[in-house]
C-alpha cells in the first residue's frame, strides 16, 4: 500500500470541515480537537508536532501516535498496511454512498481488488466507471463523426496531458475541443482520458467473473472493446470466458475465435499470443463439431477407433478387425430384413450429411460397411463424413473411396444437392475434381461445378 493511496483515502473520510493542519489525517469521529496544543505534563507523552489537543485521549509514549491513529506524512513512520486501511474503510459509515472523484473510487476499488474482496471491489470500480461515463459518450460521438478516419494520439493532437492528470481535467480539455469543432482533437483527448477508465472496467469485469456474474463480466469486457477493439486484456478475457461458458452456442464460439484472432493480429509479440492461437484452433474444432459436447464425443470415438484399428507397426494401414469380429460379421445371415435395414441406414446417413450432422452420419456408415465393404455408396458417405469432421483418418478413407468408386462419390453430391445441401454438394465435387484428375466423367463434373 503506498502512502499517496492512504492519504487519498483518509481525505475521503473527512466528512466535516476540520481545523487540523493541511494534509493531516482525520481525527476519529467523536473526538473533540482544539486548535491549541496542550503542554505536556511531566512524564506524559507528547503528541506529534502540530497535532491539536485531544481531550480525554490517553497520552502516547514519546515519538508514538495514539492507538489506532493513522500515520502522519513526513514523520518517517510507515503507512498503514492494507489490512489496517481496509478495517478503517469497513467501519466508516456511509462510505459507499459518498460522492467520490474517479481517482478516489478507483483507488478504493483497486485496494479491495488486490486484497481479494471482489464484491466490494466491483462496487467502487463501478462508481469510478460511472465518473467516466461522460468521457465515454463524448469519445463515441466524436469517433462516429470521424467515420473511417483514425483517431490520432493525444500527443499528435496536442492535448497537453501530464502524468497522473485527473480524468475530469482531461475530459474538460476534450469537451473544449469538441465545442470548437475540433473532432479529431476531441476524439484523441477523450480517448486518452478513457485509458484509466478502461483499466477500471476490465478490473470490474474480472471481479464480476470471480463473484459468479458471468453475464455482467461479458458485458463489461464488451464495453471496453466498444471503445478500444484491440484492448489486449479485454480481447483475451472475453474470448476465454465465451469459450468456457458458451460451449454449445456456436455464434458465441465464433465471437470467441474472432477475439483470439484479433489479439494475435494486434499484439503478435504478447505473451498471450501463442495461447490465443491454440485456443482459436480449439474453438474452430468445437464449432466444426457442432459444440463442445459433440467435440468431446468425437474425440472419444477417435480414441476408440485408434485403439481398435491401430496401424500395424511399420505400416499406414489399419489393423484388421479381430478374427472374432470378422467371423461374427461373416456368420450373420443376410436376410431381406438385414439388407433393408442396411439400406435404410445409408439413406439416413445421407440425410445427416445434407444437414451437416457428420457425427450421426458416421455412426450409421460404421454399422453398414463391415457387412457391405464393397458398397460404394456407403464408402462415399463415410469418407465425406470423416472429411466433414476433420478426422485424422479422413484423407486415407477419402482416397480409398475416390480410387475405388469415384462415380459413387460424384453421385453422393447429387444426393446432397437434391436434399437441399447445394453448398455441400459443390464442395464435394470440387474435392473430387481436385483429387481425381483422371476421373472418366471429369467433363460432366466440371459442368456441375459451373452451374
| Run of H or E residues at 34 | strand 33-34
Q: Has residue 263 been placed in a domain?
A: no
Q: How many secondary structure helices (H) and strands (E) does the chain include?
A: 21, 2
Answer yes or no: are the C-beta atoms of 353 and 385 closer than 8 Å: yes
Calculate helix-pair angle for 183-210, 167-179, nearest 10 degrees.
140
The whole domain housing 342 covers 333-449
- Per-residue pLDDT band at 83 (split at 50, 70, 90): confident
Three-class SS of residue 138? helix
Does a structural domain hold residue 403? Answer: yes
pLDDT at 329: 59
CA within 13 Å, CB half, 417: 15
Three-state DSSP at 33 gives strand
**Torsion angles phi and psi, residue 54, rounded to 5:** -120, 110
Do 277 and 264 touch, CB atoms closer than 8 A? yes
Give the pLDDT of residue 74: 55
Distance in angstroms (rounded) separating the CA atoms of residues 402 and 379: 9
What are the pLDDT digits (tens) for 37-65? 333 333 344 444 554 454 444 444 444 55
CATH code, 428: 1.25.40
In this structure, is residue 340 part of a structural domain?
yes
User: Residue 353's pLDDT band (boundaries 50, 70, 90)?
Assistant: very high
Q: Mean pLDDT across the chain, nearest whole number?
A: 81
Instruction: Tell me whether residue 283 is in a domain.
Output: no
**CA angle in degrees (0–180, nearest 5) for 70-71-75:** 160
pLDDT computed for residue 186 by the predictor: 95
Q: Which residue has the cell 470548437?
A: 180
Whether pTM > 0.95 for this model: the answer is no
Q: Residue 18 above 60 pLDDT?
A: no
Of the pLDDT bands very low, low, confident and very high (cuts 50, 70, 90), residue 348 is very high
* In-domain check, residue 376: yes
Q: Is the pLDDT of residue 175 over 90?
A: yes
Q: Per the structure, how many domains does the chain have?
A: 1
On whether residue 137 sits in a domain, the answer given is: no
Kindly tell me if the per-residue pLDDT of 372 is higher than 60.
yes
Amino acid at each position: 500500500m503506498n502512502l499517496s493511496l492512504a492519504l487519498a483515502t483518509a481525505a475521503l473520510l473527512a466528512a466535516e470541515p476540520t481545523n487540523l493542519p493541511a494534509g493531516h489525517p482525520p481525527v476519529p469521529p467523536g473526538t473533540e480537537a482544539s486548535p491549541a496544543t496542550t503542554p505536556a505534563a511531566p512524564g506524559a507523552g507528547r503528541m506529534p508536532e502540530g497535532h491539536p489537543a485531544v481531550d480525554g485521549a490517553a497520552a502516547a509514549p514519546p515519538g508514538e501516535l495514539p492507538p489506532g491513529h493513522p500515520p502522519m506524512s513526513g514523520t518517517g513512520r510507515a503507512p498503514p498496511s492494507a489490512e489496517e486501511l481496509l478495517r478503517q474503510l469497513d467501519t466508516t459509515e456511509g462510505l459507499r454512498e459518498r460522492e467520490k472523484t474517479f481517482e478516489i473510487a478507483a483507488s478504493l476499488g483497486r485496494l479491495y481488488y488486490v486484497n481479494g474482496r471482489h464484491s466490494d471491489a466491483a462496487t467502487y470500480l463501478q462508481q469510478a466507471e460511472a465518473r467516466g461515463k461522460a468521457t465515454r459518450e463524448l469519445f463515441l460521438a466524436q469517433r462516429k463523426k470521424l467515420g473511417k478516419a483514425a483517431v490520432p494520439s493525444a500527443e499528435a493532437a496536442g492535448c497537453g496531458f501530464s502524468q497522473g492528470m485527473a480524468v475530469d481535467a482531461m475530459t474538460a480539455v476534450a469537451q473544449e475541443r469538441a465545442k470548437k469543432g475540433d473532432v479529431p482533437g476531441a476524439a484523441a483527448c477523450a480517448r486518452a482520458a478513457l485509458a484509466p477508465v478502461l483499466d477500471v472496467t476490465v478490473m470490474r469485469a474480472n471481479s464480476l467473473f470471480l463473484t459468479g456474474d458471468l453475464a455482467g463480466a461479458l458485458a463489461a469486457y464488451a464495453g471496453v472493446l466498444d471503445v478500444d477493439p484491440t484492448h489486449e486484456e479485454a480481447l483475451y478475457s472475453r474470448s476465454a470466458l465465451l469459450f468456457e461458458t458458451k460451449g454449445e452456442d456456436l455464434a458465441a464460439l465464433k465471437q470467441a475465435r474472432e477475439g483470439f484472432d484479433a489479439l494475435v493480429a494486434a499484439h503478435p509479440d504478447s505473451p498471450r499470443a501463442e495461447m490465443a492461437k491454440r485456443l482459436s484452433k480449439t474453438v474452430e474444432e468445437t464449432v466444426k463439431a457442432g459444440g463442445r459436447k459433440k467435440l468431446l464425443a468425437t474425440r472419444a470415438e477417435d480414441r476408440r477407433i485408434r485403439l481398435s484399428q491401430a496401424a500395424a507397426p511399420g505400416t499406414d494401414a489399419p489393423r484388421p478387425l479381430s478374427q472374432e469380429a470378422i467371423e461374427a460379421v461373416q456368420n450373420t445371415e443376410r436376410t431381406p430384413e438385414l439388407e433393408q435395414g442396411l439400406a435404410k441406414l445409408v439413406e439416413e446417413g445421407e440425410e445427416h450429411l445434407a444437414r451437416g450432422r457428420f457425427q450421426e452420419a458416421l455412426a450409421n456408415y460404421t454399422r453398414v460397411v463391415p457387412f457391405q465393404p464393397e458398397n460404394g455408396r456407403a464408402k462415399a458417405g463415410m469418407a465425406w463424413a470423416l472429411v466433414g469432421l476433420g478426422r485424422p483418418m479422413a484423407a486415407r478413407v477419402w482416397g480409398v473411396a475416390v480410387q475405388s468408386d469415384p462415380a459413387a462419390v460424384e453421385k453422393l453430391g447429387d444426393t446432397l444437392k437434391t436434399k437441399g445441401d447445394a453448398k455441400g454438394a459443390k464442395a464435394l465435387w470440387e474435392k473430387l475434381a481436385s483429387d481425381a484428375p483422371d476421373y472418366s466423367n471429369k467433363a460432366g463434373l466440371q459442368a456441375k461445378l459451373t452451374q
